[in-house]
Amino acid sequence: MAERNVPTVVVARRARPGADVAFEAWLRRLDAAAHDAPGHLRSALREPNEQHPDEWTIVYQFDSVECRQSWLDSPVRRRLLEEGRELTDGEPREQVLAMAYEPAPVTAVASFRLGSDGVSRVPGFERDVRAALAHFDGYLAGQVFEPVPGVQDDTVVTFTFDTRAHLDAWLESAERAELLAAIEPHVEGERMVNVVDDLAGSLGPSFAGWFGGASEGPVKRWKQASVVLLALFPTSLGLTLVRGWLLPDLPLVPAVFVSNVAGIVVLTWLLTPYLTRLLAGWLHR
């Protein structure tokens, strides 16, 4: 077990009735400000869940007690707390403790559409991807979702590493480039890749940052992947159609970049949080 030597702050708050939207926006500003504080390691903003249906929680971790206290006493935090006073119902519950720090896993979700001559190559592609990933440092999990006629036109690949550095090593590797070169002649349209960092860091690999905290219990990986796929498919399809309508002549590289940025925003802040709340009972069964 990792040593519990990281100064940590847990703060729980309730939104004033009718102020939920403004309260969430204010909390996200507070969380963002903590990222700029000296010694900040990571923080996670957790939405209300079944165990705490009306309570938001922020967990901060710092590299020293001095940095933790500096953030708690900082003018920036005091100013933001004052701004949020009218949005908060009652006094916050604040706990200071020591916790273990483990690098948060990070997941990439890739999707692409294969022509009729390429669909039959998916099993071989999956085998080659798994064989290549197995030799990379930090690789935790991966899965290939084959197209489903009439439901899912894209082939979707997910892969999770223990750190962003290890994931980047795979994304920039010659092995991945070779795999993409082999499948590229069979790809129709553009490929999309979204990278999602897991700041919660408590559920292990595979989309953990989207599926609540440890108090809710672990979510099975196939359920996580199902929800991500449910959010990814309409996002990928919609962004492709909108970009083709608004920017039909945009070159490939900026087109992929724009699609990736928009996809991350839609998945992280809109569709996936909505689906995880909607399906919370099923996810945690």
CATH architecture label of 4-100 = 2-Layer Sandwich (3.30)
Percent of the chain at pLDDT > 70 equals: 76
pLDDT of res. 89 = 93
CA distance 224 to 276: 9
pLDDT of res. 102 = 59
DSSP 166-220: HHHHHHT-HHHHHHHHHHGGGEEEEEEEEEEE-SS--S-SSSGGGS--GGG-PPP
Query: Where do the CATH 3.30.70.100 domains begin and end in the chain?
Result: 4-100, 106-283
What's the topology of domain 106-283?
Answer: Alpha-Beta Plaits (3.30.70)
CA atoms within 13 A on the CB side of 156: 25
> pTM for the complete prediction?
0.42
Query: For the residues 51-65, what does the mean pLDDT come to?
Result: 83
Selected residue with higher pLDDT from 128 and 140: 128
CA distance 59 to 46: 8
pLDDT of res. 1 = 45
DSSP, res 51: S
Question: How does pLDDT run across 67-124, given as a tens digit for each residue?
Answer: 999 999 999 999 999 999 999 999 988 888 776 655 567 888 888 887 777 667 777 8
